[in-house]
Amino acid sequence: MDLYPLFNSLRIAVLSTVLIFFVGLWAAQVISRCHPVVKGVLDVVLTLPLVLPPTVVGYLLLCLLGPNGTVGSVVARLLDVRLTMVWYAGVFSSAVVAFPLMYRTARGAFESYDTTLTDAARTLGRGNVWIFWHIQLPCCRQGILAGTVLAFARALGEYGATAMIAGYTPGKTATISTTVYQFWRTGNDTMALRWVLVNLAISGVVLLAINLLERKER
C-alpha cells in the first residue's frame, strides 16, 4: 500500500493550517474592531469559500494561479515556477477552503473577549503587541484552538478544489481524497475502502480533539 497520499495529505493540511492560522488571527482581530457595515462586507467576502461549491473555488483559483492566470503567469515568467498541477497547489486550495472556519471561530472568540483587560494592561504601560500575545490570545485560546482543529480537518478532507488545481498524479500530487475517487473510478473498491478507513480514523481523532477542547472550555 503506497502511503504517499497519506503523507501528502498531512503535509498539505499542516502547511495550509499554519498559513491560515496567522492570516485568520490577523483578519479576525482587525475585522472584529471594524465598523458594522465594513465588518459585514468583509465577513461576506472572507466567508464565501465556505458556501461556494469546491469546484467553483477550484475554477477561480485556476483563473488566478493557472499558467494563463493573473498571478500564475507572472510567477511562471519571473521565477519559472508552476502554481498548478504540483503538490503545493493543494496548499493553496486547502487554505482557501478552510480559511473561513479559522476566521469565523477566531472572530467569535475575539468578540467575546473582555476589553477591560486590555484597558487595564494599557494603564500599566503595556503595548498592543504585548497585550495581544500575553492577554488576549491566552483568554481566547479555546476558541482559537477549536478553529485551528476544524480548519485542519477541512484541509485534510478537501477534494474538489484540490483535484482541479493539483490534479491526481500518483507519487506527486495524490491525496487521500483524490486517491479514493481514483480507486472507486477504476473499480478497485478494496483499496478505496482502505483509504476511506484511514480518513475515518483521522477524522475521528480530530473530532475527539474538538470534544476535549470543548470540555476544557466548560
CA gap 176, 159 in Å, rounded: 9
Homologous superfamily (CATH) of 4-217 is: MetI-like (1.10.3720.10)
Is residue 61 a contact partner of residue 112, using CB atoms and an 8 Å limit?
no
pLDDT > 90: what percent of the chain?
A: 55
Provide the grid cell at 178. Answer: 483524490
CA gap 42, 15 in Å, rounded: 25
Domain map (residue ranges) of the chain? 4-217
What confidence score (pLDDT) does residue 213 get? 67
Q: CB pairs under 8 A, 24+ apart, for 22-27?
A: 23/99, 24/99, 24/102, 24/103, 24/106, 24/147, 24/151, 25/102, 25/106, 25/137, 25/144, 27/103, 27/107
Measure Cα distances from 103 to 100, 147, 194 in Å.
Answer: 5, 8, 33
What confidence score (pLDDT) does residue 216 get? 64
pLDDT one-digit tens code per residue, 29-49:
888 888 888 888 998 999 999
Is residue 18 a contact partner of residue 151, using CB atoms and an 8 Å limit?
no
CA gap 204, 157 in Å, rounded: 12
Average pLDDT of every residue of the chain: 89
The pTM (predicted TM-score) of the whole model is 0.89
Please provide residue 182's backbone torsions phi and psi, each rounded to the nearest 5 degrees.
Answer: -65, -40
| Segment of 100-114, 131-145, 182-196 carrying the highest mean pLDDT | 182-196
